[in-house]
Structure 1
Amino acid sequence: MSDDARADLRASDADRERVAEILRDALAEGRLDMSEFEERLEQTYQARTYGELTPITRDLPAPGVTPPPVVSLRKDAAVDGGRDEDWSGRIVGGEGSSTWAVAVMSGFQRRGRWTVPRRFNCFAFWGGGELDLREANFADGEVVINCVAIMGGMQIVVPPGVEVVVRGIGVMGGFDQREAGIPGDPGAPRVVVTGFAFWGGVGVERKQTRAARRQAKLDRKAALRELHADFRDDVQQAHRRMLEGHKDVLRGHREERRREPRYED
Structure 2
Amino acid sequence: MLYKYNYLGLVGGGLNPQFPTNEVIIWDDLERSVVIRISDMPSRVCGVRLRRDRIVVILEQMIKVYSFSVESELLVEFETARNSNGLCCLMGHADRALMAFPAKQPGVVRTVDLADPTISIEIAAHESPLACMAFNNDGTLLATASEKGTLIRIFDSQNGLKLHEFRRGTNPAVIYSISFNHDSTLLCVGSGHGTVHVFSLSGSSITYPKRAESNFLKKYISAKHSFVRIQVPTVTKYNQVPFICAFGAEPQSLIVICGDASYYKFNFEKTGDFSRQRFSVFLELNE
User: What's the TM-score once normalised by structure 1's chain length?
Assistant: 0.23
* Larger RCO, structures 1/2 (Cα 8 Å, 6+ apart): 1
Higher helix proportion, which one? 1
* TM norm structure 2: 0.22
Q: Rg bigger for which structure?
A: 1
Larger strand proportion of the pair: 2
